[in-house]
Amino acid sequence: MGTPLGDFVRARRDSVQPASLGLPDHGRRRSPGLRRSDLATRAGISVEYLTRIEQGRDRNPSVAVVNALADALALDPAERAHLRYLAKISGGECTAHRRPAPPSREVRPSVLRTLRLLEPGIALVTNRMGDVLAHTSAFDAVTSGTGLLDSGTPNLTRYVFTDPRARSFFADWDLVADEQAFDLWLGPSLDSYEWFTAELAPVAGPDLTRRLHRHVVPQRGDLRLRHPSGRELRLVRETLELPVDAQQLVVLLPADETTAQAVDELRRPAHGGLRAIS
C-alpha cells in the first residue's frame, strides 16, 4: 500500500519533462515524465530506495533525502513545504493516537472582533476542512442564492464537491476543487483528515479522491464567481493564517471597479451583520 509521500513523489516525477531539467529524451516509454533512474541519480539515491519510497515501503526518509528529492524535482517553495509535510505524516509524526474527532468550530472572540472591523467588506473564517465558521454580511450577500450557506453547518469543501450549483457559481470550478482537496492534507491532524474524508468521500466520489492523490499544489489566483443574479465577480483573496486555531481569516477584495459596483448592489438589500456559526 502506498503513502501520501510516495504518491506525491511519483506524481511529480511523472509530470516533469526531462528536457526542462536539461536531461536527454530517452524516447517513447510506458509513462510520461522522468524515469526512476533519472530522478534517483539527480537525488543521489539508489533506484531501489526511490522505488521503496514511491511504493510506500520506506516511510521514514531522512530530511536530507527529502530535500534532495525536492531539489531533483525542482519543486517550488509551496511544493517543497507540501513534500516535507507528507514526509511527516507518512512517518507517523502527525498521527494522534485517539479516536478521530472533528476539528474545532470555535472562533476566538478576538478573531470575531477583527472580522467585525472588516464590515462591510467580504470576509470569512474557515478551517482546512472547509468549515465556514463565521462571516460578514457581505459574504452572505455575494453567496446568496447559491446554497453555500443553506446548511446549519456550512462547509465549502462539501459544497464544491456535492452541490451541482457550485459548478455554476465558481467560474473556475476545477481550480477551486483542486484547492479544496489540497487543503484537506493541511488539516489540524491526520485524524481530522481521516474523519472528514470518511464522511465526504462516499458522496463526493472520484472528483475528490482523484484530486487528493494527485497532490496538485494550487496557485490560488483571483476567485471568479457567477452570482445567480447574473453578476460576474472577480475577487482577490488575502488569507491570514491563525495557526493556534488551525483556521484562516480570508478577505475577498474586488479586483476591478465592475466587481466593486456589483458587490455594492448585492449588499444593499442585506440586513444584519457578522454571523458566527457554532
Residues 68-100: tens digit of each pLDDT:
888 888 888 888 888 888 888 777 655 443 434
**8 Å CB contact between 212 and 89:** no
C-alpha cell at 150: 443553506
- How high is the pLDDT of residue 100? 42
Q: Which letter does DSSP use for residue 133 in this model?
A: E
- How high is the pLDDT of residue 190? 55
Query: Regarding predicted confidence, which is higher, 135 or 269?
Result: 135
- How high is the pLDDT of residue 218? 84
The predicted model gives 106-126 an average pLDDT of 95
- How high is the pLDDT of residue 95? 46
Handedness of CA 130, 174, 80, 193 (dihedral sign): positive
Instruction: Give residue 140's identity as a one-letter amino acid code.
Output: D
Query: Regarding predicted confidence, which is higher, 42 or 259?
Result: 259
Which of 18-22, 46-50, 52-56, 231-235 is predicted least confidently? 18-22
- How high is the pLDDT of residue 96? 41
**Structure confidence at residue 229 as a pLDDT band (50, 70, 90):** very high
